[in-house]
Structure 1
Amino acid sequence: MREVLVIGGNRYFGKRLIARLLAAGDRVTVLNRGSAPPPPGALQLIADRDDEASLAAALGGRTFDVVVDQVCYTPRQAAIARRVFTGRTARYVMTSTVEVYEYEDSAGLVGEDVLDPATVIVTPQLPWQEPEFVAGHYGEGKRQAEAVFAAGPDFPYVAVRVAHVLGGADDFTGRLAHYADRIRSGEPVAVPATNHPATYIDVEEIAEFLFWVTRQDFTGPVNAASHGPLTTEDIVAAVAGALGADHRAVRYQPVEVGAVSPFSFARSYGMDTARAESLGFTFSHTESWLPRAVAETMGVN
């Protein structure tokens, strides 16, 4: 029986990951602040992961075969985790994001090698303890968190760079509802003047991929995305289809400066998944799950 610790991530694809770990016979411990109980069958530790003394005290003398960190957003959090978990785990899996590529613009799909976390400059003096700052620097926070784990001496980490996730009736983001509202009201959809496609992944597939990663021995960054990048128009068409509406009637309003709709991007966010596939994981194609994922999120049978 493996000992697996999951930090945060007690909802959305995190709970799906935990269900897979438990079904495989792993003993799963969930560490959070106590605001939500773990799924049935999992143990719980309560601690503030931002407080190093609290985290170390909660762990006591426990060690783990694998740690899956679902809520590491800053270099400060990564530094605390690295100090506390060095010598406590054989494998540390951090859930990262496609948005770490925010400075590596490319018309094609980017591979992991275009962003070596060991070359990223870490700026711990920035106000990473302020939630508004962290929210406004999401991609940069993840970049720097990866950099902390990648710095010597060797730490057995994996950074799973996750594409935009779709699907699930428990999707709490409200992003698809934005499009449903526009379709129902006839309001235009605001998009960048040049709107780029992006890579996506189904909520069940990312849970399956993370589960698979916990059973491998490779380290370093790895991209996770379904094949088939999607445009804003693809998302709108799927939402319209779920509503029984005509997506061809939707109007798009290009915006030079200002807020745009979710899933519309002024730069490319496409990821190449050759590394994961060479290691043995086969991703699906978005066309195989997009209509179903959109319908279930919107509560349409």
Structure 2
Amino acid sequence: MKVLFVGGTGQISLPCVELAVAAGHQVSVFNRGIRSEPLPAGVNSIVGDMKDPVAYRALGDMRFDVVCQFMVFTPEQMAEDIATFSGKTGQYIFISSASVYEKPARHYIITEKTPTVNPYWPYSQAKIAAEALLEGAPDLKWTIVRPSHTVRTGLPTMMGEGDIVIRRMQQGKPVIVAGDGTSPWTLTRSKDFAVPFVGLFGKAAALGEDFHITSDRAYSWDDIYYAIGRGVGLTPRIVHVPTDTLVKYNPAWVGPLVGDKTWSALFDNSKVKRVAGNFSCSEDLDEVLAESIGFLKQRLAANTPINMDLDPLMDRITSEQMALGNS
């Protein structure tokens, strides 16, 4: 099939491009041409910007069988895609987010029937609004895909702090885990996500349907942080801090914590398996994180600057929490 990726070089999308090429599809990517990793041989690179309406609208006239949209984050962007691709593609696949599901969920296993209501995170609310707009488009055959926490290049941390946790480990400073560290959280490798994602291409049963794609396995947050440290030969000193306390220190953490990672995340993937075919994901945590650790080591070897703006706040939080006599 003739397949377009809008994006195509990111954390999740690049392995999907690679697998689509390996599956024999004719693949094009549309992005600004700024990339740190090479595209597979044979991929047609279309350099452009979604903010350029003339260049972007021309994509619709190229009549792709499948359009994979990784770069729509707002309903306004979705409206532009509806205008661009309606009546001009056989399948439009929108990458939404599993963070759209209600928080906390009414049932501990999340299915596609779980309501999409997230009152805490503007990112998720914008994805929900974009989904609703797409579902109302009369002339666009759509599929919605919701990844959960998918790992490849970055570290899976609770508050988006990224490599700062490694720097703190190196300095012997404690790192923060929200809650008591035992709540289960699902991590999925991008290369594992790619298999069912590409399996949805051209499937009539996928049209007008939403799917999440995740691993069937979850891990405690303590185990995740210990595995991150283990990957670089360090043992983290974890300080547990209640979520309610953390968001008082930094209201910007309401979204990623109360709107996402505070809650247990366990997913039923039976719906996507029925349509895209059965698939399995790595369940060994060290293997799940191996690629992320590899990219981390490259950044450390290159002395890539780490944004340490949160370091003083983390010092304050951990000091005050430990002063209470527990961690």
Which bracket does the TM-score occupy, shorter chain normalised? 0.7 to 0.9
Equivalent in the alignment of 1:149: 134
Distance 1:177 1:110 in 2: 30
1:168-194: CA deviation from partner (whole Å, max 9, x where unpaired): xx4388855233233333323223346
Identity %: 23
After superposition, the Cα gap between the structure-2 partners of 1:254 and 1:172, relative to the gap in structure 1 and judged at 3 Å, is closer
| TM-score, with structure 2 as normaliser | 0.73
Distance 2:18 2:107 in 1: 37
Detail structure 1 runs of 4+ shifted over 4 Å in the superposition.
172-176, 259-264
1:204-236: CA deviation from partner (whole Å, max 9, x where unpaired): 112223222224331321011112222220111
| TM-score, with structure 1 as normaliser | 0.79
1:197 Cα deviation from its structure 2 partner:
2.9
Distance 1:254 1:182 in 2: 20
- Give the letter aligned to residue 179 of structure 1: V
Number of residue pairs matched by the alignment: 278
Equivalent in the alignment of 2:314: none
Local SS of the residue matching 2:94: strand
1:258 aligns with 2:249: yes
After superposition, residues 68-87 of structure 1 pair within 5 angstroms as: 68-87=68-87
After superposition, residues 20-35 of structure 1 pair within 5 angstroms as: 20-35=19-34
Local SS of the residue matching 1:160: strand
Contact 1:197–1:265 (CA<8 Å) still a contact in 2?
Answer: no
Equivalent in the alignment of 1:292: 290
After superposition, the Cα gap between the structure-2 partners of 1:106 and 1:176, relative to the gap in structure 1 and judged at 3 Å, is farther
1:74 Cα deviation from its structure 2 partner:
0.8
Within the candidate set 152, 174, 184, 1:188 is matched to 174
Equivalent in the alignment of 1:124: none
After superposition, the Cα gap between the structure-2 partners of 1:68 and 1:142, relative to the gap in structure 1 and judged at 3 Å, is same
Structure 2 gaps of 5+ residues are 299-327
Distance 1:278 1:251 in 2: 42
Contact 2:148–2:187 (CA<8 Å) still a contact in 1?
Answer: yes
Contact 1:9–1:71 (CA<8 Å) still a contact in 2?
Answer: no
Across the aligned residues of Structure 1 and Structure 2, the Cα RMSD in angstroms comes to 3.1
Distance 2:169 2:294 in 1: 18
| Range 199-208 or range 148-157, more displaced | 148-157
1:284 Cα deviation from its structure 2 partner:
2.0
Local SS of the residue matching 2:218: coil
Equivalent in the alignment of 2:310: none
Distance 1:29 1:13 in 2: 16
Distance 1:215 1:172 in 2: 33
